[in-house]
A and B are shown apart, each in its own frame.
Chain A
Amino acid sequence: MTTSVIEMANGRFALKLTQLVLWVACGLIGALIMIFAMSLGFGSYDMSVAEAFRVLWAPEEGTQATVVWKLRIPRFVAACLVGAMFALSGAMLQNVTRNPIADPSLVGVSQGASLAVVALIVLWPDVPLGARPVAAFAGGMSAALLVQAIAAGKQSTASMRFILVGIGVAAMISAGTSAMLAYGNINQAMGALGWLAGSVHTVTWTTCYILGLCFAVCLPAVVWSARPMAAFQFGPEVAISFGVRVRRDRFLVITLAVGLAAFAVSAAGPMGFIGLLAPQLAQRLAPSGTGGRLVLSALTGGVLVSGADLIGRTIAAPIQFPAGLVSAVLGVPLFIFLIIQRAKTSQL
């Protein structure tokens, strides 16, 4: 693999990348642009892509402008952000647990966040939308801390233990959510149920602003995390020998992963599987170091969710399938295909 080193300021700033990573990143961005164009044109309100672009460039009053600006663009933006955040969260959890099946919805984080948001919808329906990410983060973090506390034994880094405890805690929290839905006010419970399916079809610009803000807050930390993660992949002992403060950095990376997943859950519901699928797909498209893997995972996550949302609302219009459902139905066969194809060289 050809490796390029991009140097600036007399070598004081140098990035190391393989060319394949650059090409794949360009391909994924291209895919996002295509999905964006199609998202504007396709849907239950009939218009051509050309027409959609006309109202995009020349803002005007009318139904077409409303559909494009108030419904379809925020929906696409939210789908991309949610996908990227779930993917980054999954990539981080897979790294710190050194387990390729780690995913925020497997280890209780999404469930914790969901319980908090469902509680908010059912018990305090008057609380504004902006409180959801906060509640989701609190819920997700509580679940993560609980899992960490139970799983941490003599070997606090034993990854299978973390996953097993996570599955148990996730089941327990889901039971709480079910109870909330069963005994809550029927109207609010119905609303919460729609949200739980994992979709972006009710998002507004407000959701996008909140989500964008959360993502912007996390972004510097995501950039920072690439370095400790590069050391973590060799196990805690080598990471310590490399001079990484393993206990502190592990906690920070897990907190970041919880935050990203919780914010995404607060906007679009617990979309399972994206966190598992996107980093694995990215790694199989272009094997790369942790920095490259984070970028490609985020892009893959964006493509998956926005693509799934596009398919979900056009394939049987006017019925809208939630993006979470479509990404699972289409993503799983693709995932299994990749695993079988790589069976000889891959450990997974």
Chain B
Amino acid sequence: MTNLTVEDVHVAYGATKIVSGASLSTNSGELTVLVGPNGCGKSTLLKAMARVLPLQSGRVRLQDLDVHATPTKNVAKQLALLPQGPIAPEGLTVRELVSQGRFPHQSLWRQWSQADTDVVERVMRQTKVAELAGRPIVELSGGQRQRCWIAMILAQDTPVLLLDEPTTFLDLKVQVDLMTLLRDIAHTDQRTVLVVLHDLNVAASFADRMIMMKSGQIVVDGPVSEVLTPENLKEVFDLSADVVFAPETGLPVCIPRTGAGPVTAPQAVAL
């Protein structure tokens, strides 16, 4: 059980404040998604949580460790980050990429161990990239490639995983597969998974919890059914939308009001 807690965090690029006073905490075994309009500071907050960016004030705690004050190598065994659009070095194969995730567990003198092999094989099976192991990353499709990167941060074997828009530019089926994988990682491995996403419906289908951000601040935080409401969509995204519930699953779905006015049934038939 490792909880990641953000306490009144402020982050700025030079004089520009990006995150002003964000607080949240995540739980093991939960998939939490962070959503908000472009430029609201959700990626910045994620980077600050992963110590990629320094804090102006506030604190990020991993259980009882202060993320920004603990030796970075120790944090690396507890927290892994998958940045947006990572680039693999040329010619790297899937197994080589996934193996790099073992980096924090190795040293100059001890470059590989049996435990490393075991973890790499396990996570490649878990992410279904084992059969691609010998293929160069550049030859893979976008979805396969993203699976490999997820396998890499899984190989880091940390209780907390942070992912920045892991489904961007992928088609819907691939997004669904990736999110299923992330949800399974959270639920079955009892890990904390926090994902920044921009597609609200994909987020709503998989998240245990949804956090909405606007202008550097957290506006709402709670179960998806309570957070994804027309009122919150209006306030956070300035979006007029209906939230309906899918007939089979009962999951909330957001449908934007397009301004074309209600279409009545007879007209639809006539078309």
Contact = CB atoms under 8 A, between A and B. Distances in A.
A234 B81 CA distance: 12
B89 A12 contact: no
Contact of B86 (A14, A238, A240, A287): A238
A223 B108 contact: yes
B50 interface: yes
B110 A11 contact: yes
B117 to A, nearest CB: 9
Interface in A263-316: 283, 287, 289, 291
Given A234-B100, A237-B83, A244 B110 contact: no
Given A240-B50, A242-B103, A287 B91 contact: yes
B110 A12 contact: yes
B108 A227 contact: yes
Nearest to B104: A243
B103 A230 contact: yes
Contacts of A241: 50, 52, 76, 79-83, 153, 156
A341 interface: no
Interface residues of B, number: 41
Contacts of A283: 91
A348 B111 contact: no
A230 B111 CA distance: 11
A14 B93 CA distance: 21
B72 A245 contact: yes
A240 B51 contact: yes
B114 interface: yes
B254 interface: no
A57 interface: no
Contacts of A13: 109-110
Contacts of A14: 109-113
A240 B89 contact: no
A318 interface: no
Contacts of B89: 233-234
Interface in B84-120: 86-91, 93, 96, 100, 103-104, 107-114
B75 interface: yes
Contacts of B104: 242-243
Contact of A11 (B72, B88, B114, B153): B114
Given A242-B103, A243-B77, A345-B138, A235 B87 contact: yes
Interface in A1-37: 1, 5, 11-16
Contacts of A245: 72
B47 interface: yes
Contacts of B75: 243
Contacts of A12: 109-110
A223 B74 CA distance: 23
A236 B53 CA distance: 11
A347 to B, nearest CB: 6
Given A234-B89, A238-B81, A287-B91, A243 B111 contact: no
B173 interface: no
25 contacts: A14-B113, A223-B108, A233-B89, A236-B52, A237-B47, A237-B81, A238-B81, A238-B83, A238-B86, A240-B52, A240-B81, A241-B50, A241-B52, A241-B80, A242-B76, A242-B103, A242-B156, A243-B72, A243-B73, A243-B75, A289-B96, A345-B91, A345-B138, A346-B90, A346-B91
The 10 closest A-B pairs by CB, nearest first: A243-B76, A243-B73, A237-B83, A241-B81, A242-B103, A233-B89, A287-B91, A243-B104, A16-B111, A16-B112
Interface of B: 13-14, 47, 50-52, 72-77, 79-83, 86-91, 93, 96, 100, 103-104, 107-114, 134, 136, 138, 153, 156
Interface of A: 1, 5, 11-16, 154, 223-224, 226-227, 230-231, 233-238, 240-245, 283, 287, 289, 291, 345-348
Given A237-B47, A243-B75, A289-B96, 16 more contacts: A5-B112, A11-B113, A11-B114, A12-B109, A15-B112, A224-B108, A227-B107, A230-B100, A233-B89, A235-B83, A241-B76, A241-B82, A241-B153, A241-B156, A243-B74, A243-B103
